[in-house]
Amino acid sequence: MGARIKELPARLPKNFNKPDEPWYHYLTIDLIWKVLGYTLFHPWVAWILVLCLRAQYTPYENLEMRIAMAWAFLMTIIGIFGIISDRIAYGSPRDVDLSEEVIIITGGVEGLGGLIAEVYGMRNANVCVLDTKKVDDDEAEEKGILYYECDVGDAQQVEKVAAEIVEDLGTPTVLINNAGIVHTKSIINSTAEEVEQTFRTNTLSHFNTLRTFLPYMLNEGRGTIVTVSSVLGHLGAANLSSYAASKAALLALHASLKAEVAQHPNGAEVKTILVTPGQMSTTMFAGVKTPSNFLGPVIAPVDVAKEIIKTIEKGESADIAVPLYSRYIGILGVLPVGVQSLIRRWSGVDRAIERAGLLQKKHISPKN
């Protein structure tokens, strides 16, 4: 008999009992942009329109033919420019074979990291998770994932676990720095311990894992590092000061990492991916509503995970920003300050935590 097929238990989504949303709830600017990208803004489709006009014996000097050809040339030039720009910025992709990769995910028991880990586990990849949460052996075996109980904010624990991973699976080649926590408090109500914990988990953990695992990748001459930041790293927000600041630090860290890897003799095949998602439908920000589902939709973790996995397996470096507004959020900083203030008021970003009932209040008396 052949090899036994691996049985996977069926799991209903957690929101299966929620009422269906009206059809227009799913109509977002992201969906429209994606459809246009595969149709009107796609060079191949643009040239098909030209061919259709020629099939009707439309003369080249006709206005509609000239418009169609001009549009096709424009889309082709933009497409070629994008390819050249990406090649200059990120270099050539590396070859990725999952059977030869060892994937490490921090904070991979739940949320986005847990989703990515389970996908790779189902595909029989060599994947391990570093997290403070415990997972029993039966569940780990069922998912095909190795779990290591580790506080990634502690450099010694990371170094100890790294030695175990090398012994158990081999040389680490993919690092997904995903661990993160949030304290929804104002600056004056935050304790020193909470701020330190946030930065240890969200920021210092990246330094610990990079110092530990990057040398393996450079010695191997290949690897991929994923830095999961947040759109709040660009914006900041009231009652999310420590979280936003810790995520903003990752933007600078990623830029420095990218530059240092590019200068290393063995860094050509070490790829770097920056992820700056908008609000995701995870438990971390449950109940927080965006001002406009059309312009700023809440995205599902699976959509972000899909982009990360696709980019890793294509062997490319990239900047992943979803939904659409997070890709262009940097434009906000060059607008007049009055316009910036009006946009922040309209978006409700500084009132979102309080309106969602997530604000943790703790009165701190001033010290004399």
Which of 148, 216, 243, 325 is catalytic? The answer is 243
**Calpha distance 341→119 (Å, rounded):** 41
How far apart CA 129 and CA 108 sit, in angstroms, is 5
Query: What are the residue boundaries of the structural domains of the chain, listed by start?
Result: 27-90, 98-355
Q: Are residues 113 and 105 in contact, defined by beta-carbon separation less than 8 angstroms?
A: yes
Q: What average pLDDT is seen over the chain?
A: 91
Which residues have C-beta within 8 Å of that of residue 349, sequence separation ≥ 6? 235, 237, 238
Catalytic residue among 143, 147, 148, 247: 247
Q: How far apart are the first and last CA of the chain?
A: 80
CA 30 to chain centre: 16
pLDDT bin (cut points 50, 70, 90) of residue 25 is: confident
**What is the C-alpha separation between 29 and 27, in angstroms, rounded?**
7
Average pLDDT over residues 349-366: 77
| DSSP character at residue 163 | H
Tell which wins on pLDDT, 166 or 13: 166
Q: Which amino acid type is present at position 265?
A: P
| 136 Ramachandran zone, left/alpha/beta (phi>0; psi -120 to 50) | beta
Q: Dihedrals φ, ψ of 75, to 5°? A: -65, -35
The yes-or-no verdict on residue 6 having pLDDT over 60 is no
CA distances from 192 to 195, 199, 226, 301, 364 (A): 5, 11, 29, 31, 12
Round to whole Å and give the CA distance between 314 and 95. 8
- Does the annotation mark 243 as catalytic? yes
Q: 341-352: b or e for each residue (b if 16 or more CB lie within 10 Å)?
A: eeebeebbbebb
The CATH number of domain 98-355 is 3.40.50.720 = yes
Taking alpha carbons only, the member of 166, 176, 183 closest to residue 206 is: 176
Whole-number percent of the chain with pLDDT over 90: 81
Indicate the helix (H) or strand (E) that contains 211. helix 205-220
pLDDT at 12 over 60: no
- Angle among Cα 138, 143, 145 to the nearest 5 degrees reads 95
Q: What is the dihedral of CA 287, 293, 296, 300, to 10 degrees?
A: 60
Residue 207 and residue 154 in contact, taking contact as beta carbons nearer than 8 Å: no
With cut-offs at 50, 70 and 90, classify the pLDDT of residue 4: low
Per-residue pLDDT at 26 exceeds 90: no
SS3 letters for 271-300?
A: EEEEECCCCECCHHHCCCCCCCCCCCCCEC
pLDDT reported for residue 93: 96
* 38 included as an active-site residue: no
What's the CA gap between 113 and 107, in Å, rounded?
Answer: 6
104: nearest Cα among 219, 243, 214: 214
For residue 15, name the pLDDT band (cuts at 50, 70, 90): very low
**Residue 187 CB coordination number (10 Å):** 11
**Mean pLDDT value of segment 342-350:** 91
* pLDDT greater than 50 at residue 73: yes
State both tokens at 187.
């600056």
pLDDT computed for residue 325 by the predictor: 93
Dihedral (CA of 179, 184, 187, 191) sign: negative
Q: pLDDT of 113-160, one tens digit each?
A: 999 999 999 999 999 999 999 999 999 999 999 999 999 999 999 999
Using alpha carbons, select from 301, 311, 317 the residue that is nearest to residue 178.
301
Instruction: Give the number of other CB atoms < 10 A from CB of residue 258.
Output: 21
Percent of the chain surpassing pLDDT 70: 93
> Over the stretch 212-225, which tens digit does the pLDDT of each residue have?
999 999 999 999 99
What number of other Cβ atoms are within 10 A of residue 307's Cβ? Answer: 17
